[in-house]
Amino acid sequence: MTGTTVLVAADLRARFCDTARTWLEHCGASVELTAERHDGFHHVHGSGRDWSPRLYVALITALFHDGVTRCLVGTRGLLGEGWDATKLNVLIDLTAVTTSLAVNQLRGRALRLDPDDPTKLANNWDVVCIAPEFTKGLDDYQRFCVKHQHLFGVTDDGTIEKGVGHVHAALTTLKPEGVEDSVARFNAEMLERVPQRAAYRTLWRIGAPYHPEPIHALELGRSGGGGGAFPPFAGRRDPWSHHSLSLAMGHAVLAALQDAALIEQQLQMHAGERAGGYVRLFLEQAREADSALFTQALAEVLGPLRRPRYVIPRLADIEHPTWLSRWLPRVIGQYFARRSRQVVMWHAVPTALSSSKSEAVLFERRWNQYVSPGQAVYAHRGIGREMLEAARDQGLVSTAVPHRKEVFV
């Protein structure tokens, strides 16, 4: 519906008109309805002194509430501020508005509580058109980013985040020109969420206590993952995954900082998995200083080597199939494969633990416990510097760029 037109799907016309006439009669409105047929829909006309947008918006809203129709298409002027439909639980935004006030008002249409459905959860969608072959073909995506600058949403790992990152982790750093290659993946992952209403309602933790201050968090894509290698510890049969390896490194950093009495002892780490293979790590219920220090230290370990004072190797067991392991089913053949242990990457010892050899040893001990055997090496001169240069030449340094965020839990 618009300010001048009401259209109804062809298969709904009879029920719509019959129910509408009953509603109009009950309201005492002087209106005569007729329906003009078109291909696939009917154009509904109302004649009489009472027929106006104000009347038919109230009429159609009432029919929507009663389930006569389950979908309304309308302009922002009609279905924007002041329009109230508590049954509405899906909003598809096709507008070009970007101001925070207008965006919040629009989404607020679907966020109203429904007294008849205490478990209601709203799904708000943005439709974004990407046409990079045209001069302004990426403008719609840029509008989408602006819309979400001040919007908070629950993410798939249960944290609350502001900005496009709550829609998908990859959108945090994805350039507009790179979106086209990811459209199919984004659409598939968005559609997978549709039936997961109960799961996402649980993620909101309605009524549970929350931490009112933003928490520093680190988010990392698959480029920092394990690559299928195995943990270099006896008895470990499962290969590293991006999540398990990131978690192990996070534990090493946290324990070393606690050993050095740089952060509180009782803090716990959250490691959430997100769509697209992203992992987010942060300290739960931490003071801002502790949260910031942990995030900084972990970013140095996971990210590219700048000019670290100390570095430490990460070893992993690489599996090599034998003729017997190839012949046997995987569940049995894995026990007959051969493994070799080798250095797969060098990492920085965090600056907070690098002012002295004794501090570096604290980190080394926890690294050996959670991640890999290996010795922290001074990298500013001598053999340590030569080893670091060789590692760079051989591609044994991280190219991952962890992204820092502030989230709420």
* pLDDT given for residue 18 in this prediction: 96
Task: Identify residue 84 by its one-letter amino acid code.
Answer: D
Tokens at residue 28, please?
A: 């005492």
Is 334 a residue whose pLDDT tops 70? no
Q: Looking at the structure, do residues 172 and 319 belong to the same domain, yes or no?
A: no
pLDDT tens-digit profile of 172-230? 888 887 888 888 889 999 999 999 999 999 999 988 888 888 899 999 987 655 556 88
Q: Which of 77-86, 252-261, 297-306 has the lowest mean pLDDT?
A: 77-86
Q: Looking at the structure, do residues 330 and 358 belong to the same domain, yes or no?
A: yes
* pLDDT given for residue 391 in this prediction: 93
Give a yes or no: residue 155 inside a domain.
yes
**Partner residues linked to 319 by β-bridges:** 339
Q: Is residue 313 a contact partner of residue 376, using CB atoms and an 8 Å limit?
A: no
Q: Is 110 helix (H, G, I), strand (E, B) or coil?
A: helix
Is 330 a residue whose pLDDT tops 70? no
Q: Looking at the structure, do residues 66 and 124 belong to the same domain, yes or no?
A: no
Give a yes or no: residue 80 inside a domain.
no
Alpha helices in 35-182 (DSSP H): 53-65, 76-79, 100-111, 139-147
Is 332 a residue whose pLDDT tops 70? no
pLDDT tens-digit profile of 25-57? 999 999 999 999 999 999 999 999 999 999 999
Nearest to 336 by CA among 326, 347, 348: 326
Give a yes or no: residue 81 inside a domain.
no
Residues near 402 by beta carbon (within 8 Å), at least 6 away in sequence? 218, 219, 220, 224, 298, 299, 302, 303
State percent of the chain over pLDDT 90: 68
Q: Looking at the structure, do residues 2 and 95 belong to the same domain, yes or no?
A: no
Q: In 349-402, where do the E strands start and end?
A: 377-378
Residue tagged 């067991």 (tokens): 317
Looking at every residue in the chain, the average pLDDT score rounds to: 90
Q: Which of the four pLDDT bands, split at 50, 70 and 90, describes residue 129?
A: very high
* pLDDT given for residue 101 in this prediction: 86
Is 324 a residue whose pLDDT tops 90? no
State percent of the chain over pLDDT 70: 94
DSSP state for residue 399 in the 8-state scheme: -
Give a yes or no: residue 79 inside a domain.
no
Q: Looking at the structure, do residues 275 and 393 belong to the same domain, yes or no?
A: yes
Name the domain boundary from 160, 185, 210: 210
* pLDDT given for residue 1 in this prediction: 94
* pLDDT given for residue 224 in this prediction: 53
Tokens at residue 149, please?
A: 């600058």
Alpha helices in 260-356 (DSSP H): 288-302, 323-327, 330-333
Cα of 17 vs its chain's centroid, Å: 44
Mean pLDDT on 338-354: 92
Specify the pairing of strand 123-126 against strand 90-93. Answer: parallel
Mean pLDDT on 259-266: 94
Q: Is residue 298 a contact partner of residue 368, using CB atoms and an 8 Å limit?
A: no
Mean pLDDT on 91-99: 91
Q: Looking at the structure, do residues 384 and 264 belong to the same domain, yes or no?
A: yes
Q: Looking at the structure, do residues 189 and 45 belong to the same domain, yes or no?
A: no
Is 293 a residue whose pLDDT tops 90? yes
Q: Looking at the structure, do residues 21 and 105 belong to the same domain, yes or no?
A: no
Mean pLDDT on 140-144: 92
Angle at 305 (CA atoms; ends 300, 306), nearest 5 degrees: 95
Q: Is residue 246 a contact partner of residue 272, using CB atoms and an 8 Å limit?
A: no
Is 132 a residue whose pLDDT tops 90? no
Tokens at residue 327, please?
A: 């012949």
Range of the domain at 196: 86-210
Q: Is 132 helix (H, G, I), strand (E, B) or coil?
A: coil
Distance CA 215, CA 354 (A): 25
Q: In 213-328, where do the E strands start and end?
A: 215-220, 268-274, 278-284, 310-320
The total of structural domains in the chain comes to 3
Q: Which of the four pLDDT bands, split at 50, 70 and 90, describes residue 234?
A: confident
Q: Is residue 168 a contact partner of residue 276, using CB atoms and an 8 Å limit?
A: yes
Q: Looking at the structure, do residues 28 and 139 belong to the same domain, yes or no?
A: no
C-alpha dist (Å) from residue 291 to 7, 269, 354: 55, 10, 19
* pLDDT given for residue 399 in this prediction: 87
Is 167 a residue whose pLDDT tops 80? yes
Q: Is residue 62 a contact partner of residue 56, using CB atoms and an 8 Å limit?
A: no
* pLDDT given for residue 339 in this prediction: 75
Q: Is residue 253 a contact partner of residue 352, using CB atoms and an 8 Å limit?
A: no
Distance CA 98, CA 146 (A): 6
* pLDDT given for residue 40 in this prediction: 92
